[in-house]
Chains A and B, each alone.
Chain A
């Protein structure tokens, strides 16, 4: 059952007692036999010290996948196994989240372990060695070696935020990970895992007095200081900057983007959310870009746009909550295209973006996007765990509960307001294009040449589409050869 967030917020206020008065709590009681935990510390990769990129990630990993003072990791696994539960962790720039779902039968036993893991970490050398290698293998093998799409997305973020606290992957960089010591971890934990930065979230069929106990237990953390709420603006993007990651692969994966100054709660957030619902909602076939690129032209498997960070998109349909940030980027994800159509596909995506900015959303499509979004938000919040995650994000952004925020907000929007927001924030110049490709210098030369890139189809196409192609094949990308950098894949995430 869904609990109105207003009540939960009230509960949070009442929860401010004598112990742990800095700790914020979010409670969503219910009748389910499951209990969800979301324990969020307002710290993350943006707090990694220079030269120690990955410290936030490794610290969280040591808590969630390492031993405690009293128990080895193996003992924890043995205890968790019959309950079929585990503590998951997620480190983003500003938030570190520990989450778990347990059956109420096992609440006592599970919570005993969870409390020990988060409050009495063991900092064992063998855990550090294993988790450091696991993280390095994630960056080098899973991401860089075996997943071109996520690679392009993450490199896009690193490029946009170069020289900024957000300028490295959340899991860190290989050389820095190799330098991190147990002292670093303990210091980071002591400084960052504090009451002032803690949000305790619990949902489901827990006993009435459980949240108070949770809060008492976590009150043993140091008081600490509040997390920073602002970050410097990223450097201005000059021209069309292209980064081609050279790799042996049979296709070309792209991510395109630039920073935007809009976050949840800002006046232009909902207009841009509507834009996203029209132009390229994640993994659905109803978006404009998907229709034009895949359905009509068969260029690839899908094409989508984002106004908030959405990692692991190729593995899931809904975004994970608790990735809240004070600043975001606009991003286009183009799934792998055949090398022969790589130039045309890029042009088509930017041509469509250009058209969106110039002409706006057509009125009938605007109404449809609004109807879609108003109902679709229901599905985002279909589990208690997701509801809890979104409630925590609402607390961070200072917005009403997500459901009413979106539904009420989009009902008041006009098409003109949305189109104006699109013009204010979107652009086809001063952006980054990241491609993962073989024979990168050939693609670089083609992109910079601005030579026509005619499409050839395996079936007859309607004349209007072919006419449009004539325009697209000559669409100027505005890429200066000097702004194309070719990066051997072995260098990515190393420093």
Chain B
């Protein structure tokens, strides 16, 4: 199957909470939030620090990709912990450490043995408050970002994703990918001053949530976080994300790929924002499985019977603002692309035309419930899962709420949501084929 980004998981059983762990949620006076989750996996602790700012926050023109670039700069050190010392401490702790950036959040994560908890929390507190880097380091790191762009450039899916967003959105910052436009990446070495401003705006306690999961005692974690993070100063910046105007007509784009590859067809509709109160987004999730997963009639027809498509899947990721519901198919023969596109469109129509089978709907709910449970098999995985939700609502409770919503969805809800979102005026189709093949 495809690597489909975050087709959202959950759906809780009636009796149990979907997120089965007890957690300690604690707000410091400066606005920083701590979520500590003791587990019975021994020795290991995972710290995920969520900054509630991602490429969605890149509101100024020419600054696409900056949140991600800044994530790189966070590893360039402070006065107390210059880069070399920072690395040495991590190595002494045998830690696995990394970071990632998405549309809505930037996440720094470290997994290590429990005896190093204070060392890690202290060192992290230092770089979040006292990051310092030279113009030279800044310009060098910009090249590593270009290197990252280069390593992604071989993938048609990365390109399709870029073109889909640029076509579907007009004003909202979801128009650009987290990686950013190539011309902006090339200009990054010249943006030192802006990088300091970016740090000043978003690397603030009110934009940050710390998640600690594993072999820990919540009281002790609270004390350590108060000690090392309590003095962090609150900021004042409030970002204004441009609202996306309603789309009024269907759109399309085509990518001419520079080397041999199989054609792709992506069909997208403007979707919903994440919500643990409104039913729209969870219903769209259920549709993504009903219509396009391995057990859907469309998959059966195209992948298993005709064998005209070798990869088929849907993506309906959770975002702070309304995003896209996308179906992706890799087609074996170029001449089939239009027919496959029409098959996908017909599937969308079917959700509008008649209610889905109740038993299939329940099977999807069961799938989501077990997929979520199977994902919580170690402390790092629990912390990683929490970071996704905490990035949206700043509390693990949102998981239980969203699962409860899944449970309530009926075939009638599915039809109503399909009628609301799967409309021609909200549609964007992007195709890709090798140069000369079309």
Which chain A residues have a beta carbon within 8 Å of chain B's beta carbons?
1-2, 32-34, 73-74, 77-78, 81-85, 101-103, 105-106, 126, 129-130, 133-134, 137, 140-141, 145-149, 247-251, 253, 283-286, 291, 294-302, 314-315, 317, 335-338, 368-369, 371-379, 382-385, 457-461, 489-490
A74 and B96 form a contact (CB under 8 A) = no
Instruction: Give chain A nearest CB distance to B126 CB in angstroms.
Output: 17
**A295→B91 contact, CB < 8 A:** no
- Closest chain-B Cβ to A488's Cβ sits at a distance in Å of 11
The answer to whether A382 and B378 touch across the interface, beta carbons within 8 angstroms, is yes
Q: Does B97 contact A (CB under 8 A)?
A: yes
B377 touches which of A34, A137, A247 (Cβ 8 Å): A34
B141 at the binding interface (Cβ < 8 Å): yes
Q: How far is the CB of A308 from chain B (nearest CB, A)?
A: 18
Q: Are B91 and A286 in contact (CB under 8 A)?
A: yes
Give 16 A-B pairs besides A126-B307, A146-B157, A294-B144 with Cβ atoms closer than 8 angstroms.
Answer: A101-B377, A137-B332, A247-B259, A251-B150, A251-B151, A285-B75, A294-B147, A295-B144, A298-B144, A371-B91, A371-B92, A375-B95, A376-B96, A377-B94, A459-B137, A459-B140
Q: How far is the CB of B27 from chain A (nearest CB, A)?
A: 30
The 5 closest A-B pairs by CB, nearest first: A375-B94, A298-B143, A84-B370, A84-B371, A459-B139
Chain B, range 347-402, C-beta contacts under 8 Å to A: 363, 366-371, 373-374, 377-381
B142 cross-chain contacts in A, Cβ below 8 A:
298, 458
Say whether B93 faces chain A, with CB atoms less than 8 Å apart. Answer: yes
B381 partner residues in chain A, CB cutoff 8 A: 383
Q: Are A82 and B370 in contact (CB under 8 A)?
A: yes
Contact of B140 among A253, A296, A378 (CB under 8 A): A296
User: Is B41 touching A301 in the complex (CB atoms < 8 A)?
Assistant: no
B330: A residues at CB distance < 8 A: 141
Distance in Å: Cβ of A42 to nearest Cβ of chain B: 27
Question: What is the interface size of chain B, counting residues whose CB is below 8 A from a CB of the partner?
Answer: 72
Given A336-B147, A385-B377, do A459 and B135 touch, yes or no (CB 8 Å)? yes
CB distance from A81 to the nearest CB of B (A): 5
Query: What are 7 A-B residue pairs whose CB atoms fall within 8 Å in the complex?
Result: A34-B373, A103-B374, A105-B370, A146-B155, A297-B140, A301-B147, A382-B44
Give the interface SS of chain B, mostly helix, strand, loop or mixed: helix
Which among B279-287, B292-300, B315-323 touches the partner chain? Answer: B292-300
Q: Which of B137-177 contact A (CB under 8 A)?
A: 137-144, 146-148, 150-151, 153-157
Given A336-B150, A338-B146, check contact A368 B379 (CB 8 Å): no
Minimum CB–CB distance from B261 to chain A (whole Å) comes to 5
CB-based contact B87/A285 at 8 Å: yes
CB of A81 within 8 A of CB of B87, answer: no
What 0/1 pattern do residues 27 to 60 of B give for CB contact below 8 A with A?
Answer: 0000000000000111110000000000000000
B252 within 8 A of A: no
Are the C-beta atoms of B377 and A384 separated by less than 8 Å? yes
| A301/B150 in contact, CB under 8 A | yes
Distance in Å: Cβ of A483 to nearest Cβ of chain B: 26
Say yes or no: is B422 at the interface (Cβ < 8 Å to chain A). Answer: no
Q: How far is the CA of A494 from the CA of B88 in the complex (A)?
A: 46
- A103 near B373 with CB under 8 A, answer yes
Query: How distant is the Cα of A335 from the Cα of B142 in the complex, in angstroms?
Result: 16
